[in-house]
Amino acid sequence: NAGVTQTPKFRILKIGQSMTLQCTQDMNHNYMYWYRQDPGMGLKLIYYSVGAGITDKGEVPNGYNVSRSTTEDFPLRLELAAPSQTSVYFCASSSGQGIDGYTFGSGTRLTVV
C-alpha cells in the first residue's frame, strides 16, 4: 500500500517554463488537495477536489491549474513559472468523511530561477 505518491521529488525550472506535478493515491480516497509550503510558514491550499471531475480553487490558486479525471490521480499544472512559485508542494488525500486527517505525499521541492 503506497499511500500518496508524488513525482518528481525535486525540480528546477526557468522563469516562463511549465511543468506538471504528479500525484497518485491508492487508498480510494475521494478528497484530494494540493498545498504549498513556503519556508517557515504553514501550508496554503492551492486547489482541491472532492471526486473525479470536480475541482475547486483554494486560497492561493493563481498560476496553477488542476484536473481530476480519475479517483487516483490529481496532477497540478504550473504555467509560466515565476520565482514566487519556488516552494515545496504537498499533495494530500482524505477519505471524504470531512472529519479525518490527511495522508500526505512526500512533497516536490520546486525552484524557479
Partner 1 sequence: GENVEQHPSTLSVQEGDSAVIKCTYSDSASNYFPWYKQELGKRPQLIIDIRSNVGEKKDQRIAVTLNKTAKHFSLHITETQPEDSAVYFCAASTRTNAGKSTFGDGTTLTVKP
Binding mask 14-43 for partner 1 (x = CB under 8 A): -----------------x-x-x----xxxx
Single residue of 25, 94, 110, 112 touching partner 1 by CB under 8 A: 94
| Nearest distance from C-beta of residue 46 to partner 1, angstroms | 11
Query: Could you tell me which residues are beta bridge partners of residue 104?
Result: 92
Which of helix, strand or coil describes residue 48? Answer: strand
C-alpha distances (whole Å) from 47 to each of 2, 14, 15, 26 are 23, 23, 22, 20
Q: Find the binder of partner 1 among 66, 105, 110, 112 (CB under 8 A).
A: 105
Estimate to the nearest angstrom the gap between the alpha carbon of 24 and the chain centroid: 10
CB 45 within 8 A of CB 101: no
In the complex with partner 1, which residue's Cβ is closer, 1 or 14?
1
Of the pair 33, 74, the CB lying nearest partner 1 is at 33
Q: E strand or H helix at 93, and its extent?
A: strand 87-94
Per CB under 8 A, contacts with partner 1 among 43-62 are 43-45, 48, 50, 56, 58-59
